Every structure is written in C-alpha cells, then in structure tokens.
Structure 1
Amino acid sequence: MQFKESMLHCYLVGGTQDVNHDPEQFLKSVKLAMDSGITAFQYREKGSSQLNQQQRVELGRKLKELAVQHNIPLIVDDDVELAQAIDANGMHVGQKDQRIEQVLAAVGKTMFVGYSCNQINQIKHANELPVAYVGSGPIFPTNSKNDADPAMGLPKLHELVKLSTHPIVAIGGISEANMQSTLETGVAGLSMISMILQSPDIEKTVTAVNSLY
C-alpha cells in the first residue's frame, strides 16, 4: 500500500495496554474505530504489555485482516520483526527506538516509515531521509505515554511544520477542544490514543475528527 498524506487525518495508535490489557476488548474497539472511519492504525504494544511475541503476532495478524477489510494502513511501532511477520504496511520509529537508518535499510520498499521528531535538529535530520511522514508531540500533556517528553505546545509545533519537508501528524493530548487549533498549525493530521480508545462513543469521536477536513 502506497503512503498518502490523507492517511494521517485520523490516525489511531494503540495496544492492549490502552484497554486494561484485554486483547478481545482491544480488537473490538479498533474494529469500531475502523468502522467509524479512522484513516490509519498503528499497533503499539509497549513495555507494560502482557503479551509475548507469539501473542503479539497473532493479534497483529487479526489487526492486519481488519485493516485490509477497511482499506487502511496497518503500521507497527518499533518492531521490524513483528511488522514483517504480519505483513504490515508501515513502520513507526521513535527517537529512542532502533536507529532510523537501520529500519529504512531493513524494510526497503516493502513498507513506508514514519519517524518521531520533536526538535528542530531532528526535523532537519528527517528532511534528509526517505521517510513518509513525521510524528511530533506530545503537543499537550498526556497520560497515554509514560515516557512522553514535556508538552511542546502549538507555537513550537507550527515551527516544526514550517521546517519539515515531510507531512507531520500531531500526537499527545489531542482532544475535541484543541483539535481544530492543532490543525491550524499546518499539520497533515491528528494522531490519538486515549481520545478514541477511551471514548464513551468511538463513532462520534472519529466522526468529529473527520469533520475537520
């Protein structure tokens, strides 16, 4: 699947740790989000996960099946082996993860690659690489990531957008109250974890995000 900037519009990130370590509930919530119109999904099973690698692969294959049915990309966070095992469409690499050059070399043209960049020097480095998009954040304070950097705020985000040659998706503390002002910085899309996975009405939340485009 070829990367398109519109895939970043409503970009859900998550793993079982975001729904009380319940794989069945996680699949159900992700399916509902896909049914409701998310434009990309990143499978991000983190350190607090209770799944072993084989269980991650099994769950990842179910997620890939759902993504194919909904014609959206499945992206895997920081695990080339898992991404290849489930035939993911993309990989996402953080600054604290494997070196971006190694991942780009490992996946070649089989997957597109996204890269987390929160500082000017990181954006300048990304500009020299064949990555598909950049993820920047946290924009606002967030509880979804224990290892999150301090919130950067909208002026800093706008500065990164102006500097980047790649489309940027904003992540971290995005809510219905701030999503419009976040998009006004020039980002290509919004990436969310708890705003969607913890929503009492996932369909309504996803529809609200998509209504901004």
Structure 2
Amino acid sequence: MLDLTIYAIAGPQDYPTDSIEVAFEKMSHVIESGVTVFQYRDKGMAFPKLGQREQLVAALRAVAKLEQVTFMIDDDVKLALNVHADGIHVGQSDLALEKLVPQLPTDMILGLSINNLSEMTAVDNPRIDYLGLGPIFPTNSKADASASLGVEYASEILNANQLHLPVVGIGGIQLKDLPALKQAGLNGVAVISLLTQAQDVAATVSAMKESWQNA
C-alpha cells in the first residue's frame, strides 16, 4: 500500500551552497527522518563529473531501500530503471503517458502531476497509481510553477477524482496548513523547502506526522 503522507522532494539544487557530497548526506538524512516517500528531482542541475548523477541517485536509492521509504524519480525513465527506483513521477508537459507506460515494469509506481480541474477530469489511464496536485500555495521551489490553487479549489478538484486515485498536495505547504489539507481530502503532502531548509529535519517530520494524524 502506497503511503503518501509525508512525501519529500529534493535534489542537489535544493542545497545550493553545498557540495554534491554534502547534499547527498543531507538528502540521506531526509530519507532517514521518517518520510514515507522520497522523490529525487534535479531538473536543470549540471554535474561536474561524468556518471556522478547516477552514482548519487543509486546511493540515495540504497538508503531508501534500507529505510523502507518509497523511492521515486522525477521525469527520467532511464535513470529510474537504472537505479531500480520504486517509481517515476511525470508532469503534464513531460513524456506522454502512451509512450511512457510501455517502458515501465508492471510493478513500477507511476505518479502524474495535475494543476487544475480539467486535468483531473482528463485522468483516465488505469496505469496511474497516484496524482500530485498543485501548487496549492505560492512556491519558490519551482521556477515554472502554475498559479496557486488554494485549499477551496483544490477540494473542488479532488471531488472530480473519477478513478479515486490517492492524491498528494504540493506547493508552498507549511506545517500549519496540514489540518486543512487533510480535511480537504488529500492523502498526503509533498514538500521541498519545508524539509531541505529545516533546522531539525527529523523533528519537522515528526511534527508533520502528528499534525496529519490529529487533523
């Protein structure tokens, strides 16, 4: 059963003042902190050494396996297959599903981003395992992010979930937002800066879980 409750997303670009090696240590710490899913995302990131990207991701995948954390790759089928990731997450402008699905093992998790009501009502591919809905609030973590939805519109979109897929919310989410987001019908929250910029990652994850469970 896929647990989307605390879905962490990170890549080296989220630690801009750190070396790749230090970023690896910090991402490993996020994986070890009690999150339920970790998605590796590094769009636009340039690696100084040949093969360094795959080595980094393979090492993170090993940490996730040890911690029994679902390990996802953002929009890179080859990388996901090479490191034996648990799944891949794609956006509306990424590789078309009809081209993507035949490349995936039957047990590989497939996540799809949606940004509005029309995209939700268009979801009809039975191969999709979960949806990422957002941005719920304004965010600086993604340069090309769409306009924020707000909780009320997000709830309206969730009501149109014809396949009854689990949905994780993303975009500018803070700890104080979790009760309202759970009550809106989300199955979990995906965060970047809330964890990559946290002073105490484990304490933040613990607080997130407590807030979610008590909502």
Q: TM-score, normalised by structure 2?
A: 0.92
The answer on 1:55 being equivalent to 2:56 is no
Q: Runs of 5+ in structure 1 lacking a partner?
A: none
Quote the residue 1:198 is aligned against: 197
Q: Residues of 2 paired with 1:100 and 1:40: CA distance?
A: 22
The answer on 1:30 being equivalent to 2:21 is no
Query: 118, 121, 126: which is aligned to 2:123?
Result: 126
Detail structure 1 runs of 4+ shifted over 6 Å in the superposition.
none
Q: Residues of 1 paired with 2:38 and 2:142: CA distance?
A: 17
Quote the residue 1:171 is aligned against: 170
| Deviation larger for 183-192 or 101-110 | 101-110
Identical aligned residues as a percent: 33
Q: Residues of 2 paired with 1:64 and 1:53: CA distance?
A: 19
Counterparts in 2 of 1:105 and 1:172: CA distance versus 1, 3 Å: same
Q: Secondary structure at the match of 2:142?
A: coil
User: How far apart are residue 16 of structure 1 and its match?
Assistant: 0.4
The answer on 1:68 being equivalent to 2:56 is no
The answer on 1:83 being equivalent to 2:57 is no
CA contact (8 A) 2:115 2:133 kept: yes
Counterparts in 2 of 1:29 and 1:125: CA distance versus 1, 3 Å: same
User: How far apart are residue 53 of structure 1 and its match?
Assistant: 6.8
| Deviation larger for 9-18 or 120-129 | 120-129
Quote the residue 2:100 is aligned against: 103
Q: TM-score, normalised by structure 1?
A: 0.93
Quote the residue 1:12 is aligned against: 8
CA RMSD of aligned residues (A): 1.4
CA contact (8 A) 2:5 2:187 kept: yes
The answer on 1:45 being equivalent to 2:39 is no
The answer on 1:138 being equivalent to 2:135 is yes
Counterparts in 2 of 1:29 and 1:127: CA distance versus 1, 3 Å: same
Amino acid in the other structure paired with 1:60: V
